[in-house]
Amino acid sequence: MPEGGSPRVLIFDADDTLWENNIYFEHAIERFYDLLNLTAPGRRAARGCINRQERRAIAEGGYGLASFQVALERAWEELAPESWSPDAATAIAGLAAGIAAQPIEFLPGVLDVLEYLAPRHRLFLLTKGNHAEQSGKISRSGARRLFERVHVVPEKHIGTYQERLSDCAAPPEECWMIGNSPKSDINPALAAGMNAVFIPHPHTWVLEHEEVTYACAPGRQCLVLDRLADLREYF
């Protein structure tokens, strides 16, 4: 555990760590199933198609609503080509617009614990995705004031965390990455030599699923907490 009174660099993920995000995409996918009148078995097959098309769209255009919209369009054309039409394209555009219109919904206790930690430690925010979309959410959240620095990156990998270590000019053992995604938040941070706090979310995006690598570098830790608010007990 961090020693009492010693400030740390705490780097927070945003989506599904500070506020809800993936649930809105899941709701849109459920609506997509309804538009295609899919049965339960059909929905399982369709989800595999959507996941495949999302990976393709992200590789082409990066993360964000535009790639999600493209993935749904391609999935519709693959699953039900006979019903693809301008009206179908409009319906999918509406699903993406509905996600964009969602207000920021903080997870329980998030603002209180950030307010508690900000005077005690150096807080950074590190989120990946479309720069305009992510910056907009950060601005609407009102939480920017609590972070020393904010970084929006196209992808999170070991090099991303090595850059953050250089930015904050702190030893890796004093840095903690806090997030819900094993693939983007926890494993690459541990690989870069940081500590990590894994806070699972019940609706973490399926493309972010990965086994957590608990075999940390010597002297490093990976905490697993139920809620972000529990950080008070450790920092």
pLDDT along the chain (235 residues), means of 10: 70 98 98 96 95 97 97 97 97 98 97 98 98 97 97 96 93 96 96 96 94 77 96 96
Specify the pLDDT at position 69.
98
Q: Which fold has domain 22-100?
A: DNA polymerase; domain 1 (1.10.150)
- CB neighbours (10 Å) of residue 83? 13
Domain regions of the chain by residue span: 9-19+105-233, 22-100
What does the pLDDT read at residue 216?
67
33 by Cβ neighbours in 10 Å (0-12 / 13-18 / 19+) ranks as middle
pLDDT (0 to 100) of residue 219: 77
DSSP of 157-198, one letter per residue?
-HHHHHHHHHHHT--GGGEEEEES-IIIIIHHHHHTT-EEEE
Please give the CATH superfamily to which domain 9-19+105-233 belongs.
HAD superfamily/HAD-like (3.40.50.1000)
